[in-house]
Structure 1
Amino acid sequence: MKLRLLTVGRMKEAYWRDAVAEYAKRLSSYCTLEILEVADEKTPEHAPAAAERKIKETEGKRLLTRIPERSFVVVLAIEGEMLSSEALSAALSEQLLRGMSDITLVIGGSLGLSPEVLARADRKLSFSRLTFPHQLMRVMVLEQLYRAFRIRAGEPYHK
């Protein structure tokens, strides 16, 4: 299985990079993981709605160019479906059974995702109604994927 984590913006702090590297290493036993970053746009304080739409559109175009045509796309969006870890594991297994072995997970920038990226999604997933920094979200996504693979394999994982 090939998993692609596609994100807006760079990892700035070393501790986030270390956490991502640790989960990427753990996931290597279960899948091929590719982490791709696209540049984010600077968002001025109190930007008007039109400027925010333009920023999301620009970032969205960058994201869409990095998504392979045949990839199953899961976007992280606050309005998405919330799953338990067990349900995420089952959804991952279901995708494999359907022969979809290329999955792209998309994390947007500080303003969220453009309508075009949301329209490209095969599934919208939410971890919470809360907003999280995108760097922390990367770690959370990778940890949950690792947990999902462990559950799927019947291997122990702390609760």
Structure 2
Amino acid sequence: MKIIFISVGKAKKPYFKDAAEHYMKRIKSYCRFERVEVKEETYNAGVPLQELLKKEAGRIIGAIGNGVFSVALSENGKQMTSRALAGFIHEFMAGGRSGKKDIAFIVGGPYGLHASVLEVSDMALSLSAMTLPHDMAGVMLAEQVYRAFTIIKGEPYSH
């Protein structure tokens, strides 16, 4: 099983970047892991936001790959407990879902994801009912995936 984090742009604040990398490094001890950062569009008042998001969407969709179960982060997505996320990931460790063995988690940029990304994704996941900065969402996702592996393995990190 492989986990792929697809995100729009790079973390702008070093503390978000460092925190995300901390958990991503830990994830690598449990599974194959890949981080893909697609180019973030430059936002300005002269170009409609949806047009810019659609350009990002094309790059995101192109990065997903075949045979990968895609999970787009969205405030309107399904909420899960940490244990439910662990169960979801464990399914893929045990053979996959719908013939797909790898998981791609998709984090949008500062303005979220274009609707086309949500349409092609296999699942939408919400980390919170509140709107989060995209850099913080990346950190929270990495921490929760790491926590899921500790739950699966019965390790003491998660209580």
TM-score by length of 1: 0.90
Q: Which moved more, 1:74-83 or 1:99-108?
A: 99-108
Q: Which residue of 2 aligns with 1:53?
A: 50
CA distance in 2 between counterparts of 1:66 and 1:158 reads: 31
The aligned counterpart of 1:152 is 152
Tell me what 1:16 maps to. 16
- Aligned equivalent of 1:31: 31
State the match for 1:130 in structure 2: 130
Segments of 5+ residues of structure 2 without an aligned counterpart are none
Of 64, 68, 77, which residue of structure 1 is paired with 2:65?
68
**Is 1:40 aligned to residue 37 of structure 2?**
no
Find the aligned partners of 1:78 and 1:14 in 2 and give their Cα distance. Answer: 24
Give the letter aligned to residue 136 of structure 2.
L
Amino acid of the residue matched to residue 8 of structure 2?
Answer: V
For residues 72 and 7 of structure 1, what CA distance do their matches in structure 2 show? Answer: 16
Instruction: Note the aligned Cα RMSD (angstroms).
Output: 1.6
Other structure's SS at 2:157 match: coil
Is the CA contact (8 Å cut-off) linking 2:67 and 2:101 kept in structure 1? Answer: no
SS in 2 for 1:40: coil
Equivalent AA in structure 1 for residue 69 of structure 2: F
In terms of mean alpha carbon deviation, does 116-125 or 89-98 score higher? 89-98
Counterpart position of 1:105: 105
Q: Distance in 1 between matches of 2:153 and 2:71?
A: 22
- Does 2:85 align with 1:88? yes
Secondary structure of 1:80's counterpart equals strand
Q: Secondary structure at the match of 2:151?
A: helix
Residues 41-66 of structure 1: per-residue CA shift (max 9 Å, x gap): 12235x7xx81110111110111111
Amino-acid identity (%): 37
